[in-house]
Amino acid sequence: MNFSINTVLFVSPFTNESVKLFKQFKKWGYDAVELLIEDPAHIDPALVKRALEKSELTCGSVAAAINPQRDLRGSPASQRNGAKYLCELIDQMVTLDARVLSGPVYSYVGRAKAYSAAEKKRHWNAVVKNLKVVTRYAAARGKVVCVEPLNRFETDFLNTMDQGLKLIADVGSPNLKLHLDTFHANIEEKHQGEAIRRAGKHLVHIHACGSDRGTPGNDHIDWKSIAAALKVIGYDGDIALESVTLDVPRIARSAGIWRRMEKTRDEIARDGVKFLRKTLA
């Protein structure tokens, strides 16, 4: 099990210049980094890989940034753009030596509406069709795509582990897995530990975040039940700390962050990894 940090806590977009963050991540005790790559043109993956190696870190995962022009349940053009973007990220993952493509790869954050049953079926079929293409591309390159359920305020498409399992079954690819985020699951799951047990071998990536988007452990989430469930399923994927603060305004707006959860983002990164290692390792 590796402990990772999503770069969105400190920078957006991530570019070649952002590799200067890696030295501090290592000092805080991280093993790996999760890169949110908003545009493949923003980075030279070979340069980023060298910087990671210099800091004795790995790229544990790459997080996708879907927008309305890349929506897998959007217009035909946006579906093509989305599939192309995801495949481009997978190509960069080969150079970065990252195994997991994470996030809400199916649609953009904030698309949440009471669609009709017929519209929901069309959306579902479109996402299934596109993920079949993307996962075939990932499989040929030894990579895994993880779908992340979000809370009801950020998407109407995928909110729970059970819905994620249905999507995996419909796509039918061993290279499509589940990604649990403790912030979203705190809203949508009755019990996170039970959801993890149901996901079982399909759960291969985790975002760890406090119930208020702040520091893991400085919140009301039942972390002991999460730790016990991870032990039961033999989880050996990354635990990636992902938080959002006012220091990155564009991301803060999209995540509905209007106040400070902790005094500093350094506190979240530093204290968060200490708690996660103590509780989940």
Q: For residue 103, is pLDDT > 90? A: yes
Bridge partners (DSSP) listed for residue 155: 111
Q: Is residue 119 flagged as an active site residue?
A: no
**Amino acid 113: pLDDT:** 97
Residue range 188-213, pLDDT digits in tens:
999 999 999 999 999 999 999 999 99
What Å distances lie between residue 46 and 126, 269, 270, CA to CA? 34, 26, 28
Mean pLDDT of the chain: 97
User: Residues 98, 104, 109, 110: what is their CA dihedral angle, to the nearest 10 degrees?
Assistant: -170
Residue range 44-63, pLDDT digits in tens:
999 999 999 999 999 999 99
**Amino acid 254: pLDDT:** 86
**Residue-wise burial string across 161-198, b where 16 or more C-beta atoms lie within 10 A, e elsewhere:** beebbebbeebebebbbbbbbbbbbbebbeebbebbbb
Domain ranges of the chain: 3-280
Confidence of residue 281 (pLDDT cuts 50, 70, 90): confident
Range list of β-strands (E), 19-147 = 32-37, 58-64, 100-102, 144-147
**Amino acid 181: pLDDT:** 98
Residues sharing a CB contact under 8 Å with residue 274, sequence separation 6 or more, in sequence order: 29
Out of 148, 188, 189, 262, pick the active-site residue. Answer: 148
Out of 34, 154, 242, 262, pick the active-site residue. Answer: 242
Residues sharing a CB contact under 8 Å with residue 266, sequence separation 6 or more, in sequence order: none
User: Residues 237, 57, 64, 272: what is their CA dihedral angle, to the nearest 10 degrees?
Assistant: 70
**Amino acid 278: pLDDT:** 97
Q: Is residue 267 flagged as an active site residue?
A: no
Q: Give the mean pLDDT of 178-193.
A: 98
Bridge partners (DSSP) listed for residue 36: 63
**Amino acid 23: pLDDT:** 98
Q: For residue 250, is pLDDT > 90? A: no
Residue range 123-165, pLDDT digits in tens:
999 999 999 999 999 999 999 999 999 999 999 999 999 999 9
Residues sharing a CB contact under 8 Å with residue 146, sequence separation 6 or more, in sequence order: 61, 100, 101, 102, 103, 105, 176, 177, 178, 179, 204, 205
H/E segment holding residue 206? strand 203-208
Tokens of 145: 């795509």
**Amino acid 37: pLDDT:** 98
Q: Give the mean pLDDT of 90-115.
A: 98
Options 3.20.20.150, 3.10.20.30, 1.20.200.10, 2.40.70.10; CATH for 3-280 is: 3.20.20.150
Residue with tokens 């790229």: 59
